[in-house]
Amino acid sequence: MMKVGIVGGGQLARLLVLAGYNLGLQFQILDPAIDACAGQLAYLIKGNYEDISRLKQLAEWADVVTFDFENVPATAARILEEQVAVYPQAQTLYIAQDRFCEKTLFLELGIPTTLFATVDSLDELRRAVIKLDLPAVLKTRRLGYDGKGQRVLRILDDVESAWQELGGVPLILEELVPFEREVSVLAVRGIDGETKFYPLVENYHRDGILRLSRVPCRDQMLEFQGYNYTRCVLDHLNYIGLLAVEFFVKKGCLIANEIAPRVHNSGHWTIDGAETSQFENHLRAILGLPLGSTSLLGPCIMLNCIGAMPELARVLAVQDTHYHFYGKTRRFGRKVGHLTLRVNDSDKLRACLNVLLPLVGLTIDEFLEWSY
């Protein structure tokens, strides 16, 4: 039996475990939280990501180690790499952990990205605002996710308060992109370099948190461009596993926002809507197994459940809807599960969304405004 170690025990680890059990894989998870939700399904090593003895314990047991989030210290990945195969590699984590390194990589590879400037002092912030103009977004270079560690600057009066809020750690100022939509490319690359792409995904965020993804995307023409950019990133990093690249679409062109070197929330629909899920394909890739087909089974909409799950019976009453609960306690702003609706007919889609959207805190008007 092949043994997979996962650093981080959140929902992504849990969904990897669920996919991997069907392949006959075994799992151990390293997480500092005793109640990490993947620990309900696999043996949990409770320990910090810097804890060398715990990292070694995981590395000794596993045939391969992977991550459920990219903010594991790169030093931890290097310690693991001394003992066991680790994908993605420490070097990739290092780049993806820092928005400046990530954007520099995009520029090096000729991939359009947002205008940006690094900011380490209030003076630098003022100079960056003059260079980029307002509105702009100030972000922490590291450890930001789901819109955390970000502040939009609209008028000059915002500059000092944003600095008070976020200053003290390395920052980056980005132009605020007036995008038409947001899309992501999910790709999987095997140990032999074979690469497969899922259909381009269209994403809707509210307050920096992904609320809804849908495939196929309405801008099918962008798919080819997105695949090319993503292939450049994968080949440059000699990447193994599933990787997502998030883009803004502005005036019909792609502008790269960030890389996620892991399975990604905008790929959760693949469990019910693709021939092989992103989770299974990530495991296949890191274990050197043949990759599965990434074909779409039919149009899908994935809805994130934020804070609390909707009532099971009410969701299941909507035909063609799949319920995924992560085993987490309810908490404001927390991703606790997702729903996937897979329906071909547009009238039926509208009827289903009328029921489902309010159950996850969205309105049909908000959806229609986003959709058209």
Residue written as tokens 């100079």? 127
Report whether 119 contacts 160 (CB < 8 A).
no
- Helix, strand, coil % (nearest 5) of the chain? 35, 30, 35
Nearer to ligand AMP, 68 or 258 (CB): 258
Among 77, 93, 132, 137, binds ligand AMP (CB under 6 A): 137
State the amino acid at position 258 in one-letter form: E
Q: Considering the complex, what minimum distance in angstroms separates the CB of residue 244 from ligand AMP?
A: 11
Q: Considering the complex, what minimum distance in angstroms separates the CB of residue 207 from ligand AMP?
A: 8
φ/ψ (deg, to 5) at 295: -65, 150
Q: Considering the complex, what minimum distance in angstroms separates the CB of residue 183 from ligand AMP?
A: 10
Could you tell me which of 24, 142, 5 has the C-alpha nearest to residue 79?
5
**CA 203 to CA 269: how far, in whole Å?**
12
User: Binders of ligand AMP among 106-125, rule CB under 6 A?
Assistant: 114
Between β-strands 181-189 and 150-153, what pairing exists: parallel, antiparallel or unpaired? unpaired
Nearer to ligand AMP, 149 or 190 (CB): 149
Which range touches ligand AMP (CB under 6 A), out of 78-86, 174-182, 325-333, 346-354? 174-182
Among 126, 181, 205, 231, binds ligand AMP (CB under 6 A): 205
φ/ψ (deg, to 5) at 50: -95, -5
Number of residues that bind ligand AMP (CB under 6 A): 13
Q: Considering the complex, what minimum distance in angstroms separates the CB of residue 333 from ligand AMP?
A: 14
Among 144, 199, 267, 337, binds ligand AMP (CB under 6 A): 144
Residue burial 260-269, b: 16+ Cβ < 10 Å; e: rest: bbbbbbbbbb
Nearer to ligand AMP, 47 or 147 (CB): 147
Residues that bind ligand AMP (CB under 6 A): 114, 137, 144, 147, 174, 176-177, 182, 205, 208, 246, 257-258
